[in-house]
Amino acid sequence: TQLLEQSPQFLSIQEGENLTVYCNSSSVFSSLQWYRQEPGEGPVLLVTVVTGGEVKKLKRLTFQFGDARKDSSLHITAAQPGDTGLYLCAGDLGNTGKLIFGQGTTLQVKP
Amino acid sequence: SAVISQKPSRDICQRGTSLTIQCQVDSQVTMMFWYRQQPGQSLTLIATANQGSEATYESGFVIDKFPISRPNLTFSTLTVSNMSPEDSSIYLCSVEGASGRTYDEQFFGPGTRLTVL
């Protein structure tokens, strides 16, 4: 049973297009993190969302945490080839310090 | 965030042998974790490395297969024992971010890419 469902798992788009990645769960998270991982490297933390309904922006990336803290989304505006990579959401169920990861979304942005 | 290094960055090993992976952090951290990332997959937590006591393993992972040491607050090792091709993965260590926050953030090392023949 996957506690954190991430979709889509693969996404191939043209430069300039917009996209949204979703993470959904039936569990409530105390916080949720989004990471980006490039081949041969470890995941790099993009953002942490903590409060239900919270919206955070990082340049062309917009992160949203659901009101009930069970789901989150990542929206990229005007995607660029440099956005290519594996995007991972990860939730902390109860301030345990242990993260549960979604399946990941492999994004390819073609020039 | 802390700077995390791992050694080796990659290795190719023979079936039945063991490999020890090192994780070094540039500052003292309370929580350190070890993850496995199988080819094309997401991350799965292996264990929490506890300083001065035995590691806490997640379901499906056992100490005999993945012994972990944590001698101090900046260093940990993970050994992959009696390896088989199914152990071919990227192994990542992570540390919890700065204390004082009301939530937890983890930062990852660059990973060790292991191939078992």
Nearest Cα residue to B24 out of B101, B112, B96, B93: B93
Question: Residue by residue, what is the 3-state secondary structure of chain B?
Answer: CCCEEEECCEEEECCCCCEEEEEEECCCCCCEEEEEECCCCCEEEEEEECCCCCCEECCCCCCCCCCEEEEECCEEEEEECCCCHHHCEEEEEEEECCCCCCCCCEEECCCEEEEEC
Residue B1 to chain A, least CA–CA distance (Å): 10
| Mean per-residue pLDDT, B11-17 | 97
User: Which of A2, A5, A47, A48 has the highest number of chain B CBs within 10 A, making it the mutation to test binding with B?
Assistant: A48
Structure confidence at residue A21 (pLDDT): 98
Overall fold of domain B4-116: Immunoglobulin-like (2.60.40)
Angle at Cα A24 formed by Cα A31 and Cα A36, nearest 5°?
A: 65
Q: Report DSSP state, residue A9.
A: S
Nearest Cα residue to A59 out of A46, A72, A71, A49: A46
The model's confidence at residue A2, banded by pLDDT at 50, 70 and 90, is low
| Mean per-residue pLDDT, A69-84 | 97
Domains of chain A: 15-88 (2.60.40.10)
Which chain A residues have any C-beta within 8 angstroms of a chain B C-beta? 6, 30-31, 33, 35, 40-45, 48, 50, 88, 90, 92, 95, 97-104
Please compute, for residue A78, the number of CA atoms within 13 A of its CA located in the half-sphere on the CB side.
Answer: 2
Structure confidence at residue A81 (pLDDT): 96
Residue type, B71: P
Residue A6, pLDDT > 80, answer yes
Residue B11, pLDDT > 90, answer yes
Structure confidence at residue A98 (pLDDT): 84
Residue B40 to chain A, least CA–CA distance (Å): 9
Spatial neighbors of B55 by CB under 8 A, at least 6 apart, are B47, B48, B49, B63, B68, B70
B11 in A contact zone (CB under 8 Å): no
Distance CA A42, CA B106 (A): 11
Task: Label the pairing between strands A85-92 and A99-101.
Answer: antiparallel
Structure confidence at residue B110 (pLDDT): 96
The position carrying tokens 């079936």 is B15
Residue A101, pLDDT > 80, answer yes
B44 in A contact zone (CB under 8 Å): yes
Which pair of structure tokens corresponds to residue B22? 């090192």
Structure confidence at residue A78 (pLDDT): 98
| Mean per-residue pLDDT, A14-38 | 95
Structure confidence at residue A76 (pLDDT): 98
| Mean per-residue pLDDT, A16-30 | 95
Structure confidence at residue B22 (pLDDT): 98
Residue A44: strand pairing partners = A36
The model's confidence at residue A97, banded by pLDDT at 50, 70 and 90, is confident
Counted across chains A and B, CB pairs separated by less than 8 A come out at 63
Structure confidence at residue B99 (pLDDT): 54
Residue A95, pLDDT > 90, answer no
Q: Which residue has the higher pLDDT, A93 or A39?
A: A39
Structure confidence at residue B68 (pLDDT): 97
Structure confidence at residue A73 (pLDDT): 98
B31 in A contact zone (CB under 8 Å): yes
DSSP string, A48-91: EE-STT-EEEETTEEEEE-TTSSEEEEEESS--GGG-EEEEEEE
The whole-chain average pLDDT of chain A stands at 94
